[in-house]
Amino acid sequence: MIIPNGYIRITTTTGGGLQNGKPVRATKTTSDFITANVNESRRSHGAVGEQTIATTASYVVLVDPADAPNVNDRDKVEVFDSRKISLGEYEVQTARLLDFVDAIRIEV
């Protein structure tokens, strides 16, 4: 059981490549909003370039395995707060099942 304080949407890319020497377009599918427990693990605000200032962040997200059973390291996750305001879209660093608490831990 998780205590939801935000949402995520998982974007999965499938297909693509070559078929008979011709390129085949990859298809992207985006899930509906999935309730999640979103925790910010790192945030840094500073200069990226000569005159550019940016904020970078990373999150640890817990979701119910029934809501996102097929999430893997090749997916992208868009993280939202409790008001469904986007916090950014990130590539999944790790996604693993926590057996004893019955939750999937996703690091982005």
Confidence (pLDDT) at 87: 92
Q: Is 22 in a helix, a strand, or coil?
A: strand
Q: Is the pLDDT of residue 1 over 80?
A: no
Confidence (pLDDT) at 76: 93
Q: Is the pLDDT of residue 74 over 90?
A: no
107 contacts: CB under 8 Å, gap ≥ 6: 41, 58, 59, 60, 61, 92, 93, 94, 95
Cβ pair 77, 92 in contact under 8 A:
yes
DSSP string for residues in 50-106: SS-EEEEEEEEEEE-TTT-TT--TT-EEEEE-TT--EEEEEE-SEEEEETTTTEEEE
Cα 14 to Cα 19: distance, rounded to the nearest angstrom: 14
Q: Where along the chain do its domains lie?
A: 6-15+26-107
pLDDT tens track for 24-60:
898 999 999 999 999 999 888 887 777 788 878 899 9
| Beta-bridge partner residues of 47 | 53
Q: What is the pTM of this model?
A: 0.83
pLDDT tens track for 76-108:
999 999 999 999 999 999 999 998 888 999 999
Burial of 59 from C-beta contacts in 10 A (0-12 / 13-18 / 19+): buried
